[in-house]
Amino acid sequence: MLVANFEICNYLAGQGANGDKVNPGLHGGTVDGGGFTASFVNALHSSSFGLEGGQNVYLGNPNGLVLNFPDDKTLYHMGDTDIFGDMALIEELHKPAIGIVPIGDRLTMGGAVAALACRRFFNFETVIPCHYGSFPIIDQTADKFVAGLEGSGTKALVPEIGKAFEI
């Protein structure tokens, strides 16, 4: 099943994604994924896809996703974003226990700001950093993020490339 915003779902369906498996939503909406729900929340970023020939395709407003599993912990994937004050509402409405947090800087918030977002707006049990170390112009390690969380009571789980982990 493809759960994404309306524009991405339409684009991928046009590229051959099985229309019966496409489950679109938008900011403020929640879709049923069968065994979980996905709520679309704000993210501050751009949202387009570059094609050959230099033409970009608009793919809707960027989103974060809150995945709620009825008998398990709620997960919030922030997407690519900067810190924003309405993160406090996401905590209030969804109470996520696990966060997937972009920390690469330049194209998302950096590690220190991401740690501030986690400390100020959330009561995460565990946070997993993402969007770093993938290409040269962004931060290559999670060090600033991990240092920013010290003493917060939130566990920073820094995955090793190619290795599975359990929360």
> What is the distance between the alpha carbons of residues 39 and 28, in angstroms, rounded to a whole number?
7
Q: pLDDT exceeding 70 applies to what percent of the chain?
A: 99
3-state class (DSSP) for residue 149: helix
Q: What pLDDT is attached to residue 50?
A: 83
Looking at residue 144, its pLDDT comes to 98
pLDDT tier for residue 19 given thresholds of 50, 70 and 90: confident
**DSSP notation for 101-117:** EE-BSSSS-BHHHHHHH
d(C-alpha 33, C-alpha 24), whole Å: 10
What average pLDDT does range 17-37 have in this prediction? 95
**β pairing state of 98-102 and 75-77:** parallel
Cβ atoms of residues 100 and 132 within 8 Å: no
Q: What is the mean pLDDT of residues 40-64?
A: 90
Domains of the chain: 28-47+57-156 (3.60.15.10)
What's the chain's length in residues? 167
How remote is the C-alpha of 152 from its chain's centroid? 21
For residue 19, the 8-state DSSP code is: G
